[in-house]
Amino acid sequence: MSKTEFDESEELQMIYSQEEIKDKKDTNNVVADHLSKLIIDSTFDITPIDDYFLDESSLSVASIPWFANIDNFLASGVLPAHWSTQDKRKFLNEVKNFYWDDPYLFKYCPDQIFRGCISDNEVSSVIKFCHSEACGGHLSSKKTTAKMLQCGFYWPTMFKDTCVLQSL
């Protein structure tokens, strides 16, 4: 025990020895009296505890989004170890155009506009919105893609996905 610890413990002992715990005589503790009078039925059927939480399943990821490596690199600065030198060089060249503002990822596009990156499960609803609901609609795939870019959305296969979903 160091000298400073010893000094602190002496000070604490002095403080507590100077204070007295005062008990008020002739007062009733209503809560304790009530709890002591409760009758507990020992034959009560105890149900087992269910350890399954809904949040655990709702936060699970069914598929990894296309921007997972970009998010991981921008958050931690670590590249996957199994990548070749060429893959690392290509990735580092592409990642310069991305900006991560937790929890969103944005791409800095050549027209100097930041666009929000969306995951694969949101693609069909964005295409449907821009094709049929936003500002009239039912235009060609190029016009629909242009509207998606104007709305601030981005994913790498947006031109191909728009053509495929509009042909259905």
Q: What does the domain layout of the chain look like in residue ranges? A: 64-116, 118-168
By C-alpha distance, which of 136, 144, 134 is closest to 164? 144
Q: In b/e form, how buried is each residue of 69-102, taking b as 16+ CB within 10 angstroms?
A: bbbebbeeeeeeeeeeeeeeeeeeeeeeebebee
Arithmetic mean of pLDDT over the chain = 79
pLDDT top residue among 131 and 146: 146
Nearest-angstrom CA–CA distance, 139 and 145: 10
For the stretch 9-67, pLDDT in tens is 676 666 666 655 555 666 777 666 776 777 666 656 666 777 766 665 555 666 788 89
| pLDDT value of position 160 | 92
Closest alpha carbon to 149 in 130, 164, 124? 130
**116: which strand partners?**
106, 153
pLDDT tens for each residue of 1-10: 555 455 666 7
Give residue 154's pLDDT.
93
The pTM score is 0.57
